[in-house]
Amino acid sequence: SQTIHQWPATLVQPVGSPLSLECTVEGTSNPNLYWYRQAAGRGLQLLFYSVGIGQISSEVPQNLSASRPQDRQFILSSKKLLLSDSGFYLCAWSTRGSYIQYFGAGTRLSVL
């Protein structure tokens, strides 16, 4: 069966510090991968998606970037965090051609 892992679960970072959140998927090959951010009362906002290694599409220009160094690994990064980067970050995957997305448990990021 397929599983998705996100870590860390919780992160507190000072303004201006770097960020690296990691997501890995097991039990499937060539998945589509997604990063969403969830801010209080604002639902889920799609940040990045990837259909393959090194292929990243950005939905919202911002202080964040994403990379996919391996088929089942998706990383969300920032060089310098802003207060506005605080939120709940969710990674998701889907099989090619499917609209059904499966979500990880999320990372709660607090930028202070």
Name the residues that contact another protein, by CB under 8 A.
6, 32, 34, 36, 41-44, 46, 49, 51, 57, 59, 90, 92, 94, 96-106, 108
Three-state SS at 84 = helix
CB of 80 to another protein, least distance (A): 26
Q: Do the strands 87-94 and 44-52 form a parallel or antiparallel pair, or are they unpaired?
A: unpaired
Closest distance to another protein from the beta carbon of 9 (Å) = 8
Q: How far is the CB of 16 from another protein (least distance, A)?
A: 27
Of 64, 59, 2, 61, nearest in space to 31 by CA: 2
